[in-house]
Every structure is written in C-alpha cells, then in structure tokens.
Chains A and B, each alone.
Chain A
Amino acid sequence: MTIAFQSGAGERVESVTRRADELFAQYRRSIHERTDRLFAGLMAFQWLMGIVFALWVSPLAWEGPVSRTHLHVWAAVLLGGLISLFPALLGLLRPGVPSTRYIIAIAQMLMGALLIHLTGGRIETHFHVFGSLAFLAFYRDWRVLIPATIVVALDHMLRGIFWPQSVYGVLVASQWRWLEHAAWVLFEDVFLFVACRRSIAEMQQTADRTAALEHEVRTRQQAELDARTARARNDAVLEVALDCVILMDEAGRIVQFNPAAERTFGHSSAEAVGTELANLIIPARKRASYRTALARYLMIGDTANFNRRLELLAVRRGGEEFPVEVAIAPISSEGAPMFACYMRDITARKQAERELHKSRDAERQNAEQLAELVDELRITQRQAEAATRAKSEFLASMSHELRTPLNAIILYSELLQEEASDEGDQSSIPDLQRIRSAGKHLLDLINGILDLSKIEAGKMSLALETFDVNVMVDELVDTVGPLVYKNGNTFAVETDGAIGTMFGDLTKTRQVLLNLLSNAGKFTRDGAITLAIRRSISDDALPCVEFVVTDTGVGMTPEQSRKVFDPFTQADVTTTRKYGGTGLGLAIVLRFCDLMGGTVSVDSRIGEGSRFTVRLPVQMVDAAESIPAGVA
C-alpha cells in the first residue's frame, strides 16, 4: 500500500498541476471574455453618454448667441462611433483574444480623451481616465494598462502643448502639465498593477485548490466505487458459493450468512445475522469447546484450530445433526478482528466413505475367503492326489495278493478236472468248471482294475515299436475268433488293401481291438460282426489308422452310449449277469486310446447294433517321454 502511494505521488501532483493550470487559464480567459463583453457594452454606453454630454453641456457654447447644433455634437456622434464601434465589435466577436483587450484599452482611453475634449477640458471629466483604468484592471492583466497609460500621456502631452483648452479647459497652460496628469495615472497604475498581480495569484491559488479538491473528490469517488464494486463482487461470490460462508465478529456473532448457509442450516440470513454462531449451528454439548477455542485465539493468538480443515458436527434448524467440514480463518481487517467460517455439508461424502469402507471390508473378506478356499482346494487336491496314489498302490498290492490265491484256485480246479476226467467221475466236472470260470472272471476284473489304476496313477507308459497293421490284425483274428463266433455270429475283416506299418504300442492297440471285438461278440447273437481298417486323417490333420468294429447286436440308447466308456457302467445292471464281462473293457479302451493319442467314439441304436470307431495315429508319441524332451 505504502509503496503504491509513493510511486503514485509524482503522477498525482503532475496531474493536479496540469488541472490547476487548465483551471487558471480557464478563469483568466473567462475574465477576459467577460471584461471584453463588459467593455463592448461600456463602449456603446460611453458613445451615447458622449452624445448626451455634447448636447447637454456645450451645444451652443462656442458661437455666442447663435444656437444651433454645435460641431462637437457631431464630433461626439462621429468620433465616438468611430472609436467605439470597432473595439465593441471585437469585444463581442473575438472576446478573450489579447489584441482585443489591447485595442479596447486604447479605444477606452481615446474615448476618455474625446469626452474630455467634448466637455471642454472639464477637470471632472478627467476622472473618466481613472475610472477607465480601474475598469481595465478588471482584466487582471496589468499589460493592458501600458497602452492605456501611453495613450493618456501622449494625448495630454500633444493636446497640452498644441490645444490646452481641449484638455485642460484653459487657453494657456504649462507645457509640462501633462506630466502631472501622467504621474497621477502612473500612481494609479502602481495600485492597479499590484491589485492585478494579487488577483492573479489568488486566481492561481483558487485554481490549485480547486484542482486539488477535484482530485480529492475524484479519488474518493473512485475509492468508493472500488469499494462498492469489491463489496458487490464479494457479495456475488458469497451469493453463488456452494459452500456455506459465515462471517463473524470477535464475539462470534454472525455478520454475514450466505445463501448456501441458509440452505444448509435452514435459517434465513435475517434470522442469522446478529446471532452467536455457536448458538445457531453448533450442538449444545460442543458449544463450550468452540467458545474456548475462539477465546484462546482472541487472547493469546492460538491458531491451533484455525486455517485448517476440521470435521465437526453441526445442527440444522429442527435439531438434525450432521457432519460438516469446517475451516475458520481470522480475517485481517481494520478495526475489530473478524472470522470467516467456511462449512460444507459432508453427509453424502461420509455416507459414501462408509459404503466404500463396507464394500472394501466385504472385498477383503471375499479375498480372505477365496484364499482360504484356494488353500482348502490345494489341500484337498494334495489329499486327493495322495489318496489316488494310495489307492493305486493299494490296488497294485491287492492285485498281487489276490493273484496268488487265485493262482491256486484256478490251477487246482483244472487239476481236479483232469483227475476227475481220468477217473471217469463226470459228475463233479461242471462244478469244477464253474469254480475255474469264476476264478478266471475274478482274474479279468483284477487285471482290468489294475490297468485302470495304473493309468490313473500315471504309471502306464507306451512301449513304442514299428509293426505291420495287417500282420497284427491277422494274429488278432486268430485270438479273437472263439469270442466272436461263439454266439453264431459271422465275422469279417475289411481292409483297404495293405495298410502298412504303424509306430505305436502294439500290445495296447491289440488290447483295444480285442476288447471291442469280444464286446461285440458278447452282445451279438446270430448277427454279423465286422472289423474295418483303413488309413485316415485325424481331427488334428495327422495321418492315422481307423479301426471300425460294427455289430448287429442289442445296441444301446443314446443315454447308454454316453456312459458306455465309464468304468463299471455297462448299459444295464442286468447286463453283466446276462452277458458276462467285467464292465471295464470299454473304460480301458478309452484310456488306452487317450494314452496313444487317438480317439474312440460310439454310434449305436437300440436293437440295431453298435459301431465303435477307433483312430490311432500312425506315428505315436509317448506323452510321458515327449514332455521332458520338449522342455529340454
């Protein structure tokens, strides 16, 4: 502030001086113009008065008894007009111009000279000269006195020498008398000069003062305007502010209460202003601490609770409490300290925060539950794996333990059959056959279970070798013959010429076909069984060999077809009893095909028969061996 004032000072003085000069010039010009116009009137008046004087004082004076219009009347009319007209016109048409007042000054003095002459040099008429000078002083321009004085002096000197009667009213006069007249004129000039100077000085002072005053007024007006604008702007800001803005005095009484505050707290500005803030919007139990904080600031300037955001409880009209965010700031203003209190209703935000908190908690809980679940799953999986391993080991050892007694049972039943046959005891042979058959069935079951458990335990690997498909099929037909022909079935092998060789697991390939063909034989009575073999392309576009086993047996429903590869789920629970078999044959087929990188599918109609299609790659890869090779 101070700095701004200093830097503005020079400018201010300059502008005021300029304004003062302007005012001074204006005053002077106005005086000049006014005086010019005054003289224009005065000229006319003097002219008239000159004529009146000429008529009244000396109309007949110069010719004795002859009474007629004297020459002087005409002189007054003509000369007076001649002298007055031009300056009067100048005074009216060109007022204020310096030449106008000089000409007027000369004309005025000439007019005086004329009047003196017309009045026959009457000494009284000389006062006109002093009056005229005083009038000229109206110009406040002492310079006009110079030509005026010169005219008077010259007039008196010339006429005093050559025509004393005209100027002094006497026929003979001292030729130095004009000097005395001129000295009196100069005497007056001195006073008028001083008066003019003083007047000019006063005029200058007035101009200065006026300019200063104007400046002062203007400054004040500007300041007031600024203040009003600032207030209006502040009011507008408070008016549209989204936050509550409340101004308080040092006693905590509300001075201003903006519309946002009105909306938030439910009190009108008119109600609020003058009330103590604490009483209006702070819950009763919190008022004491609020007042303490305010008092502490006022007393020791403790600003711990000022100029920072606080979260407090406020109360609405009607008593509803709600959370607000508050910032209280002392306002530095002249006079008593004031406070601005900014408040924002944060009910919604608090609500959102709570929701967020809740949802975060829920999320965390979910994550924890998920982690627990994953742990449980992992444990379960480990347990399941351990259980599978244990089961496989159990099955393997069980199979071993079962085989030994089974070995004895089968061999003994065969032995007894042989002995009975030798001794001709036919009666016990069927029973011994049943014992042997049951033992064989049990053995098949054990073998099947062992195979499945080995596959599931991942212990089944491929024994890859190159073999001729046609040779394999020929051998197979020899083995499987009794199984397919037994129910009065026909059996045909259809090959597309020489299939060539495969690089694969011969034993498992044979096992698959054996299982399928023995199955077909089992479920077909007086029907036809075919094994078709051809080269094909797998779904993965790899060359493969396709084996299709078709029968005209009992067939299956779609429901049965779907489950046919599951272990121990023969098409019907009665099936095992009726047709025999372990219920593991097709389960083993599916797993062997998977293991060999092939596929098996079934197409069956109840009462019409079934068709099993096996596709095995021509070039098999042992998955168990290829994986480490791939990694390396």
Chain B
Amino acid sequence: MPTILIVEDNEPSRDVLARRLVRRGYGVVAAVDGQEALAKARSARPDLILMDLGLPVMDGWEATRRLKGDPATRHMPIIVLSAHAMTTDRELALAAGGDEFDTKPLRFPRLLEKIEFLLARGAVAK
C-alpha cells in the first residue's frame, strides 16, 4: 500500500488524520515542520505528501517549493492543506508546486478522492 507523509504541527489533527488513513490501509509517516518534512520525504520516500501551510521552522509553501525543486522528491504529489479558506492560499500553494489543495476542516471522503486520484495518476505516469 502507498505511504503518505503527513506534515502537520497540530498534534490532534496529525493523529486523527494518520489513524483514519491507516484504517484505509495507507502507510503513514509524519513530520511536524517543513524542515522535518524535507528529511522524511528523502528518507521515507512517501508516495504522496499532505502538507499543512502554517508550520513552524519552515512553512508549507517553502517546503513544497523545496520538495518540488529537488529531483529526488519532485515526483511526489503534494496536497496542500490550509485552514485559511482564502482563494489566495490555494493559488499560492499551487504556484509553489502543490498538485492539489484542500481546506480544513477536511471532508475526509473528498480528501480520499483526491489522494486516490493523484496516486492513480502517479501510477499511470510510472
């Protein structure tokens, strides 16, 4: 089953998302800030990354840009998650290299659709 890297600084959010994805059969790796996300992406080599924007140390935009700038990680699809429902967030996230965008609170079924879609696209590309 694919492995998903969750980058989220809020502990309950990270925990509940991880548990729900595990229940769906995904492998889950977690990071609490952008810096850790870069390391985990290289070490765990996830199939997809869920990236929160408001992060300590290095924010989600910066982390996304670095991941997409690194040949080792640029193929990993990234779904950017934001608690800000502003359209600018969505545009900035996509501009930084995110493949998808979703707002919190997450509608889990919708998020699953996006995950499955991106993983399927990645599989086709491979």
Q: CB within 8 Å of B: which residues of A?
A: 396, 399-401, 403-412, 414-415, 418, 439, 443, 447, 450, 463
Stretch at the interface among B27-35, B63-71, B81-89, B92-100: B81-89
Given A400-B84, A403-B83, A463-B87, check contact A415 B105 (CB 8 Å).
no
Interface pair B16/A415, CB less than 8 Å apart: yes
In the complex, how many angstroms separate the beta carbon of A623 from the nearest chain B beta carbon?
A: 17
| Complex interface: chain B residues within 8 A of A463 (CB) | 87
Interface pair A414/B13, CB less than 8 Å apart: no
Interface pair A410/B20, CB less than 8 Å apart: no
CB contact between B83 and one of A407, A411, A414 (< 8 Å): that residue: A407
Contact with A along B8-39 (1 / 0, CB 8 A): 00101100110110010000000000000000
Main secondary structure of the interface of A (DSSP, over half): helix
Chain A residue with Cβ nearest B85 = A450
Is B75 an interface residue, CB under 8 A from the partner?
no
Interface pair A408/B23, CB less than 8 Å apart: no
Given A415-B16, A415-B19, check contact A407 B85 (CB 8 Å).
no
| Complex interface: chain B residues within 8 A of A447 (CB) | 85
CB contact between B20 and one of A396, A406, A415 (< 8 Å): that residue: A415
Interface pair A411/B10, CB less than 8 Å apart: no
Given A404-B10, A418-B23, check contact A411 B84 (CB 8 Å).
no
Is B108 an interface residue, CB under 8 A from the partner?
yes
The 9 closest A-B pairs by CB, nearest first: A408-B12, A407-B105, A403-B83, A411-B16, A407-B104, A400-B83, A406-B105, A410-B105, A403-B104
Contact with A along B87-126 (1 / 0, CB 8 A): 1000000000000000111101000000000000000000
| Complex interface: chain B residues within 8 A of A408 (CB) | 10, 12-13, 16
Give the CA-CA distance A450 to B104 in the complex, in Å. 14
Give the CA-CA distance A403 to B82 in the complex, in Å. 9
Given A396-B84, A399-B85, check contact A407 B19 (CB 8 Å).
no
Interface pair A443/B105, CB less than 8 Å apart: yes
Interface pair B108/A411, CB less than 8 Å apart: yes
Interface pair A411/B85, CB less than 8 Å apart: no
Interface pair A403/B20, CB less than 8 Å apart: no
Interface pair B105/A439, CB less than 8 Å apart: yes
Interface pair A407/B23, CB less than 8 Å apart: no
Interface pair B106/A411, CB less than 8 Å apart: yes
Give the CA-CA distance A39 to B10 in the complex, in Å. 170
A406-B104, A410-B106, A443-B105 given; 8 more Cβ-contact pairs under 8 Å = A403-B103, A405-B12, A408-B16, A411-B105, A415-B19, A415-B23, A418-B20, A439-B105
Interface pair A404/B13, CB less than 8 Å apart: yes
Name the residue among B19, B20, B83 with the largest chain A CB count within 10 angstroms: B83
| Complex interface: chain A residues within 8 A of B106 (CB) | 407, 410-411
| Complex interface: chain B residues within 8 A of A401 (CB) | 83
- Chain B, interface size: which category? 10 to 19
In the complex, how many angstroms separate the beta carbon of A58 from the nearest chain B beta carbon?
A: 178
| Complex interface: chain B residues within 8 A of A443 (CB) | 105
Name the residue among A401, A409, A411 with the largest chain B CB count within 10 angstroms: A411
| Complex interface: chain A residues within 8 A of B12 (CB) | 405, 408, 412
Interface pair A404/B83, CB less than 8 Å apart: yes
Chain B 42-57 interface residues, beta-carbon cutoff 8 Å to A: 54
In the complex, how many angstroms separate the beta carbon of A517 from the nearest chain B beta carbon?
A: 20
Interface pair B84/A414, CB less than 8 Å apart: no
Give the CA-CA distance A571 to B83 in the complex, in Å. 32
Interface pair B23/A403, CB less than 8 Å apart: no
| Complex interface: chain A residues within 8 A of B16 (CB) | 408, 411-412, 415
Give the CA-CA distance A404 to B106 in the complex, in Å. 10
Give the CA-CA distance A519 to B104 in the complex, in Å. 25
Chain B residue with Cβ nearest A440 = B105
Give the CA-CA distance A450 to B16 in the complex, in Å. 26
Chain B residue with Cβ nearest A406 = B105
In the complex, how many angstroms separate the beta carbon of A292 from the nearest chain B beta carbon?
A: 91
Name the residue among A406, A407, A450, A463 with the largest chain B CB count within 10 angstroms: A407
| Complex interface: chain A residues within 8 A of B87 (CB) | 463
Give the CA-CA distance A418 to B21 in the complex, in Å. 12
Give the CA-CA distance A447 to B105 in the complex, in Å. 11
| Complex interface: chain A residues within 8 A of B23 (CB) | 415, 418
Give the CA-CA distance A111 to B13 in the complex, in Å. 182
Give the CA-CA distance A463 to B106 in the complex, in Å. 23
Give the CA-CA distance A396 to B85 in the complex, in Å. 9
Chain A residue with Cβ nearest B103 = A403
- 11 A–B pairs (Cβ distance < 8 Å), ordered by A: A400-B54, A400-B83, A401-B83, A403-B83, A404-B104, A407-B83, A407-B105, A408-B16, A409-B105, A411-B13, A411-B16
Give the CA-CA distance A317 to B30 in the complex, in Å. 112
In the complex, how many angstroms separate the beta carbon of B11 from the nearest chain A beta carbon?
A: 9
| Complex interface: chain A residues within 8 A of B13 (CB) | 404, 407-408, 411
| Complex interface: chain B residues within 8 A of A409 (CB) | 105
Chain A residue with Cβ nearest B54 = A400
| Complex interface: chain B residues within 8 A of A410 (CB) | 105-106
In the complex, how many angstroms separate the beta carbon of A270 from the nearest chain B beta carbon?
A: 102
In the complex, how many angstroms separate the beta carbon of A455 from the nearest chain B beta carbon?
A: 13
